[in-house]
Amino acid sequence: MGRDGGSQEIDKLCLGGYCSRNCKSSYKFGRKVVKRLRDVKALKGEGVFEEVAAPDPELISAADERPTEPTVVGLQSQLEQVWRCLVQEPAAGIIGLYGMGGVGKTTLLTQINNKFVDNPKDFDYVIWVVVSKDLQLEKIQETIGKKIGLCNDSWKNKSLEEKAHDIFKTLSKKKFALLLDDLWERVDLKKIGVPLPKNSAVVFTTRFVDVCGGMEARRMFKVACLSDEDAWELFREKVGEETIESHHSLPELAQTVAKECRGLPLALITIGRAMAYKKTPEEWRYAIEVLRRSASEFAGLGKEVYPLLKFSYDCLPNDAIRSCFLYCCLYPEDFSIDKRDLIDCWMCEGFLEGDKFGTQNQGYYIVGTLVHACLLEEVEDDQVKMHDVVRDMALWITCEIEKEKEGFLVYAGSGLTKAPADVRGWEMVRRLSLMKNSIENLPTVPTCPHLLTLFLNRNPLRTITGGFFQSMSCLTVLKMSDNIMLRQLPMGISKLVSLQLLDISNTSVTELPEDLKALVNLKCLNLVWAKELVVVPQQLLSNFSRLRVLRMFATGFLLSSWHENVAEELLGLKYLEVLEISFRSFEAYQTFLSSQKLRSCTHALLLHRFDREESIDVADLADLEQLNTLDFYGCGCIKGLKIDCNDMVQKSRQPYVFRSLEKVTVRFCRNLRHLTFLVFAPNLKSISVRYCDDMEEIISAGEFDDIPEMTGIINSPFAKLQRLELWGLVRLKSIYWKPLPLPRLKVLQVWGCDSLKKLPLDSNSANGRRILIRGVEDWWRRLQWEDEATQNAFRLCFQPLLRIGGAGHDLYEF
């Protein structure tokens, strides 16, 4: 029945539309209407017709506005960066926003969504999906289906694959932005039906940088904590101007509280709201005390902040890695933790599967896992740090969640001048940290039958009572490093038969007692920079048959001669994985070189006061694959550090022979004239050369004149160099004979090098970065530059060394 037929019948009606002029025609038309109604009823019974008309797409907003806090000042620049990626042609494809919990990732994604409301930029659909830890592809499909008009009862009953086909069919013809909030693992877009974006985009948030890799993100943005300035603005906004201005002391106290949050927006907002109506200095001072001593008791942190951060902890792959994470809270607040130190402890605590894998590689893998989960922050390549709020959360877990299992007692960095009075409270403790305090004496004998870990490092400890260790039969890790005043090991330490790690690095201990041979379970011994250690009994080291890590870099640096037979002792340590060692005897050095086992595990090497008058062939060190640090000290008679390049070419050896070498220091080697062998170390990060009287060049061009095969190797050395220090090199004229690209150089420090008139720099060396150049002003003024553009490029990079002492004293603060 067409539209025209109905109109004709209406025209036949009379009496105001209630009667027909032609009854026969009306009867026939009525039968047609009844038939059509029956047909419609039958069709309605076969399908679902909740919507019989769709609204005009042009009248629908591409995005649905979502409630959110105002954009935090510090996130505004990142918002603009991501937005530019989305609207540029072509769009960025897949974009990952990663960062620790509470840092503002969801807020940033919400702001991106809302920006589409007023600026659709030709996007047909902007789809918001909350994914969360419990990944369910069906729920993601359902959310997408609702947005693009597919979701009805019939569609809900389709299989995952059928829904994926329908979604793909719709989205492949549209320009869309899919916003996925809170990914904990890779989401397979193909299984959902989302076409890989070409002109479209997928933006997701995650706490794990590994997820960015799994999602094949083309661009990644780390959502970091706020700067001090931006954090203060956010905190002040949440507290309110009225409260902060209510007393003259409050602005300063409020800034102190804000700093305790270390730029974490969630903590700033939670604590700011809690302090919004606290208008007396006493309330604010109390808040500071609580945050510093027991942050979990502060209003809101234990209920709102820590549980959110704990999701990252819960999501770690296994209990061993969770224990590795919690272990980091034994270190003080805002402390840079040496990765090697951490891994040594983990190994001896039994967190690493040493029998199945190399403990060092596994340790670094776990460090990476924690960094990628944003639970640790990488400070330098060899150091990590725990965000203060994350550390507080870890302490909260050990005290509230895993109290019986973990048994932590942490006084690290608490300003103690003596051990806590209540040593009875140590009886059930498994891990105790008194690190970084001002404790000089430990006179009391505690009872700690369950204690596994004891951190006594970074104190001015002078004496430890003889019976201090008598009730610590389970002690596994003992750290006494950086106690400069400690001159002898406490009596009773040999009773610690369960001990696996002993660290007395950077102490003034002069002697290792004979009875230390009782420590047969020792796996890690750290004597680094125990420079006054002059007595080490023969066969003591070889008695530690289970040693995996032996750190003896600069041990006995001042007076010792016990190094002469050390290489022979070490030959029997069959489990040794890491060796850091010093040699004062060329004969001991030769013994070391003859052992493939010792060469293969050496990470750091110091050659100290060699009395040889001939050159040392550094090619002998070429196959030390793990060698990271190389130091020459006081080798005044050595005339050269040579490497036979012709021999290398003839033997077809790899030109870059020091691939792991990152740090080189040369001090008081008066006869050395150059360090050209450094061009064979492509990954160098730090070079320090001091007081080498005859040093004329760092790299000498003349060494390669007759070897055309070496030209490509020497054209661009120092590509990864970050720090270069040159001190007291009175004859030094050249670092390199032409300008170099130095893309990673951060600091160049020159002092006492008056003959150095030109630096290997041109206008392109800094590549848009600012290099800090430190030196004496008179030297800086006399420098010659490649051209005016170079001089202008580095004009603002100079920082003068500060002169200290009275008139006539050439002393400078380095």
User: What does the pLDDT look like over 151-178, one tens digit per residue?
Assistant: 787 888 889 999 999 999 999 989 999 9
Angle at 496 between CA 493 and CA 502, to 5 degrees: 70
* Highest mean pLDDT (candidates 82-96, 524-538, 702-716): 524-538
**Residue 770: what pLDDT?**
83
How far is Cα 411 from Cα 420, in angstroms, rounded to an integer? 9
Q: Are 111 and 79 in contact (CB under 8 A)?
A: yes
How far is Cα 464 from Cα 485, in angstroms, rounded to an integer? 12
Beta bridge partners of 177: 126, 201
Q: Are 212 and 185 in contact (CB under 8 A)?
A: no
Chain CA centroid to CA 714, Å? 33
Instruction: Decide the pairing of beta strands 772-775 and 549-551.
Output: unpaired
**Residue 54: what pLDDT?**
43
Nearest residue to 629 (alpha-carbon basis) of 641, 619, 621: 621
What's the number of CA atoms in the CB half-sphere (13 Å) around residue 446?
22
pLDDT of residue 424 exceeding 80, the answer is no
| Residue with more model confidence, 341 or 793 | 341
How far is Cα 557 from Cα 552, in angstroms, rounded to an integer? 10
Q: Within a 10 A sphere around the Cβ of 303, how many other Cβ atoms?
A: 11
Phi (first) and psi of residue 129, to 5 degrees: -135, 125
pLDDT of residue 58 exceeding 50, the answer is no
For tokens 């794990």, the residue is 208
Nearest residue to 483 (alpha-carbon basis) of 505, 460, 463: 460
* Percentage of the chain modeled with pLDDT above 70: 84
Chain CA centroid to CA 462, Å? 35
Please give the span between the terminal C-alpha atoms of the chain, in angstroms, as a whole number. Answer: 97
| DSSP string across 420-447 | -S-GGGGTT-SEEE--SS---EE-S---
When pLDDT is cut at 50, 70 and 90, the band that residue 416 belongs to is very high
**Residue 602: what pLDDT?**
96
For tokens 């220090």, the residue is 725
| DSSP string across 134-158 | S--HHHHHHHHHHHHT--SHHHHTS
When pLDDT is cut at 50, 70 and 90, the band that residue 649 belongs to is low
Phi (first) and psi of residue 306, to 5 degrees: -65, -45
Q: What's 451's DSSP letter?
A: -
User: Which residues have C-beta within 8 Å of that of residue 721, sequence separation ≥ 6?
Assistant: 684, 685, 686, 687, 742, 744, 745
When pLDDT is cut at 50, 70 and 90, the band that residue 587 belongs to is confident
**Residue 46: what pLDDT?**
52
* 79 to 111, 112, 182, 253, 262: CA distances (angstroms): 7, 7, 17, 31, 21
Q: Are 429 and 407 in contact (CB under 8 A)?
A: yes
Phi (first) and psi of residue 750, to 5 degrees: -130, 130
pLDDT of residue 694 exceeding 60, the answer is yes
User: Which residues have C-beta within 8 Å of that of residue 470, sequence separation ≥ 6?
Assistant: 445, 492, 495
**Residue 59: what pLDDT?**
41
pLDDT, tens digit, for every residue of 273-295? Answer: 888 888 899 989 988 888 877 77
How far is Cα 507 from Cα 480, in angstroms, rounded to an integer? 8
Angle at 391 between CA 385 and CA 397, to 5 degrees: 140
Instruction: Decide the pairing of beta strands 201-206 and 93-98.
Output: parallel
3-class SS letters over 63-110 = CCCCCCCCCCHHHHHHHHHHHHHHHCCCCCEEEEEECCCCCCHHHHHH
**Residue 705: what pLDDT?**
57
When pLDDT is cut at 50, 70 and 90, the band that residue 51 belongs to is very low
H-helix or E-strand containing 212? helix 209-214
How far is Cα 596 from Cα 250, in angstroms, rounded to an integer? 65
pLDDT, tens digit, for every residue of 470-504? Answer: 999 999 999 999 999 999 998 889 999 999 999 99
**Residue 14: what pLDDT?**
43
How far is Cα 802 from Cα 814, in angstroms, rounded to an integer? 8
Q: Are 408 and 326 in contact (CB under 8 A)?
A: yes
Q: Are 579 and 606 in contact (CB under 8 A)?
A: no
Burial of 40 (0-12, 13-18, 19+ CB in 10 A): exposed
pLDDT, tens digit, for every residue of 11-45? Answer: 444 434 444 445 555 555 566 666 666 665 665 55
User: Which residues have C-beta within 8 Å of that of residue 638, sequence separation ≥ 6?
Assistant: 610, 612, 613, 614, 615, 616, 632, 669, 671, 672
When pLDDT is cut at 50, 70 and 90, the band that residue 543 belongs to is very high
Phi (first) and psi of residue 811, to 5 degrees: -115, 135
Please report which residue ranges of 294-407 form alpha helices under DSSP H. 306-314, 319-327, 339-349, 359-372, 388-396, 403-406
Nearest residue to 100 (alpha-carbon basis) of 274, 226, 280, 258: 226
* Percentage of the chain modeled with pLDDT above 90: 46
**Residue 374: what pLDDT?**
85
State the maximum Cα–Cα separation within the chain, in Å, rounded to a whole number. Answer: 132
**Cα-Cα-Cα-Cα dihedral of 429, 431, 432, 433, to 10°?**
-160
